[in-house]
Amino acid sequence: MNEGDSGRRPTPASAFRTGSAAFRHRNFRLFWTGQVLSLIGTWMQSVAQSWLVLTLTDSALQVGLVVGLQFLPVLFLGLFGGVLADRLNKRRFLIVTQSAQATQALLLGLLTVTGQIEAWQVLALAAFLGVINAFDMPTRQAFVVEMVGRGEVMNALALNSSAFNLARIVGPAIGGLLVGRIGAGPVFLINATSYVAVLGGLLLMRESELFNRPAPLTGSVWRNLGDGLRYIGRTPIVLVATTLVGLVCMCGMNYSVLLSVMAKDVFTIGSAGFGLLMASLGVGSVTAALFIAASPRLDPARVMVRGAIGFALLEILFALSPRLHSVPLSFVLLFGVGFCMILLTAMSNTAIQRAVPDELRGRVMSVYVTVFAGSTPFGSFMAGSLAGWKGAPFAWGVGACLALLAALWALLRLRREGLLGQAGSAAAS
């Protein structure tokens, strides 16, 4: 970093250029635009699915089970998804996985609109989606560097987070309203149609403009997998970032399970209110993503830990908010939770992506995704069980306290390893 630049105050124009650097790449623009439209549909489906299961079963545990099944296969298959990501053409493989996701949404929609839907069918289709996610998620994570290059990966990841969380704002709000007016079935069909955008973007990409494309992986699958695991074990920043995200995700990110119950039984604001609670998380998340995109000199390790601590503290306050009988305060707290959540997830992802060699990227990111998404079934089951026993606010508070312990462990471990500040310095050099 040039010391002479440290005192300059960036102009709005330069901040915009910095914050949108990854958009200079045509392939990334196509990918990002398709993702925004498709993810809006996905979040609409998430709201509709949770509400449908709650309507069919009146069970918080069943809601937790269906959410968990969407990610449980990642726990068993995600590592092999990373090996495939390093062996195959990532763009072409994503066309296959995204097409399969569209098919899942279409089947769910057709069963619902024809009145044949039952709880077990929702569970089965959720598990099918989980199998697809096991291969799609690590491939998408590893594909980011190929679209923009290593130097702009933090900006691209932040913009991807903004897309995800922009969808989190719009999707749940629209989904909650539409479920109340036209039912869950048409919402599922709208999601199926939204995949046209992301598939179109992938088909229009130019292979010649991709970066950092290592030679296809060869050799034994088990040996390939072992190489990735050994790298993580001997690289402290990757190990700590992956473990921290997994623990916080399992304990504190059970929104689809607990917020639907709190909207219905605690705040009594219905499906539209549930959508707005989810949207509050999204507003905070988009704000954080734009902040990261415009701040290329952030130290990923330091910001990651601060985000985890802030996330846990704000979640503890949210768990206590029903006692104050203030729904507006709950919306404000969820904004802060969403902001800190992106500080944690985006910066942990950045720390890993900057450290990992290109030839190991798919396998290392598959471990990250497996821990991130694979922890969700356990968290969903735990949250649903605790909510059924002592209520959703109690379940939320327990998870938040456990997340705080994980954040404090990461802080102490990174200090002991002398890693706070190194990731940001390395990136700037």
pLDDT tens digits, 298-345: 889 999 999 999 999 999 999 998 877 678 888 899 999 999 999 999
- Phi first, then psi, for residue 149 (nearest 5°) are 90, 160
DSSP 158-173: HHHHHHHHHHHHHHHH
Q: What is the dihedral of CA 266, 272, 276, 279, to 10 degrees?
A: 120
Q: Which of 33-47, 66-80, 230-244 has the lowest mean pLDDT?
A: 66-80
Each residue of 236-262: pLDDT tens digit? 999 999 999 999 989 988 776 788 788
pLDDT attached to residue 17:
61
Report helix angle 153-182 to 119-148, nearest 10: 150
Spatial contact of 377 and 75, defined as CB atoms under 8 Å apart = yes
Give the whole-number percent of the chain exceeding pLDDT 70. Answer: 91
Give the C-alpha separation, 99 to 97, whole Å.
Answer: 5
Over residues 278-291, the mean pLDDT reads 86
Report helix angle 60-69 to 361-390, nearest 10: 170
Give the C-alpha separation, 225 to 213, whole Å.
Answer: 19
Over residues 409-419, the mean pLDDT reads 91
DSSP 295-306: -TT--HHHHHHH
Counting Cα atoms < 13 Å in the Cβ hemisphere of 340 gives: 25
Q: Give the number of other CB atoms < 10 A from CB of residue 263.
A: 26
Domain spanning 23-203+221-428 has what CATH number?
A: 1.20.1250.20
Counting Cα atoms < 13 Å in the Cβ hemisphere of 53 gives: 29
Task: Report the predicted TM-score, pTM, of the whole model to 2 decimal places.
Answer: 0.76
Over residues 72-83, the mean pLDDT reads 87
Q: 């914050």: which residue's tokens?
A: 19
Does pLDDT of 14 surpass 60? no
- Is 382 or 34 the better-scoring residue by pLDDT? 34
Distance of CA 347 to the CA centre of its chain: 12
Most confident of 84-98, 150-164, 317-331, 353-367: 84-98
Over residues 133-152, the mean pLDDT reads 89
Q: Average pLDDT of the chain?
A: 85
Q: Residue ranges of the domains in the chain?
A: 23-203+221-428
Does pLDDT of 1 surpass 50? no
pLDDT band at residue 215 under the 50/70/90 scheme: low
Each residue of 24-45: pLDDT tens digit? 999 999 999 999 999 999 989 9
Over residues 94-98, the mean pLDDT reads 96
pLDDT attached to residue 61:
76
